[in-house]
Structure 1
Amino acid sequence: MARAVAELRSWPALAVSDTRRGPVFAVRGTEILRLTGADKVQVRLTVPAIDRLGPYLRDCDQVRTLPDKAWVAVRVDAEPDLELLLALTSVAIKAHVP
């Protein structure tokens, strides 16, 4: 997870706030990514993005939807999971930038 955080801190579209629970990443004041455990991250994709990606996300064991329909949880256990997290973060940024 440290590698993901280091990578995401370098992305110019993301503002990072260090909280007692860990870093929180935002785009234009909207939180889009939060760490929720040693290997878990929540990503705010938006409902339309989740609907569009739904067939792919449902088939992915590393991703699960959350009660707040705009968010998904991602488990990062290995290198491919990190790539998935970075891709989903990119989608989240696009969804929150007009």
Structure 2
Amino acid sequence: MARAVAELRSWPALAVSDTRRGLAFAVSGTEILRMTGADEVQVRLTAPAIDRLGPYLRDCGQVQACPDRAWVAVQVDAESDLELLLALTSVAIKAHVT
């Protein structure tokens, strides 16, 4: 997870903050990433983006739906999971930048 944090800190579109729940990343003032555990990150994709990506996300064992339909939880256990997290972060940034 340290590698994910280091990579995301270098992205100019993201602002990082240390919250009570852990690190969070925001774009344009909207929180889009929450580090929720040692190997879990919640990503705010938006409901339309999740609907569009739904078939792919459902087939991916590393991604789980969250109670809030705009968010998904990503388990980051391996290099390929980090790549998935970075790709979903790109989608989240695009969904929240006007």
* Both structures adopt the same fold (TM-score exceeding 0.5): yes
Look up the equivalent residue of 1:15 and give its one-letter code. A
Q: Using the alignment, how far apart are the partners of 1:36 and 1:54 within structure 2?
A: 22
Name the TM-score, length of structure 2 as normaliser.
0.97
Instruction: Name the structure 2 match of 1:79.
Output: 79
Look up the equivalent residue of 1:80 and give its one-letter code. S
Q: Using the alignment, how far apart are the partners of 1:64 and 1:20 within structure 2?
A: 23
Q: Using the alignment, how far apart are the partners of 1:23 and 1:66 within structure 2?
A: 18
**Unaligned runs of at least 5 residues, structure 1:** none
Instruction: Name the structure 2 match of 1:38.
Output: 38
Name the TM-score, length of structure 1 as normaliser.
0.97
Instruction: Name the structure 1 match of 2:26.
Output: 26
**Unaligned runs of at least 5 residues, structure 2:** none
**How well do the aligned residues superpose, as a CA RMSD in angstroms?**
0.7
Instruction: Name the structure 1 match of 2:12.
Output: 12
Q: Equivalent residues in 2 for 1:38-77 (5 A)?
A: 38-77=38-77
Structure 1 segments of 4+ aligned residues over 6 angstroms from their partners = none
What is the DSSP-based 3-state SS (H/G/I as helix, E as strand, rest coil) of the residue aligned with 2:67? coil
Q: Using the alignment, how far apart are the partners of 1:45 and 1:20 within structure 2?
A: 22
Shift, 1:22, TM fit: 2.2
- Number of residue pairs the alignment of both structures matches: 98
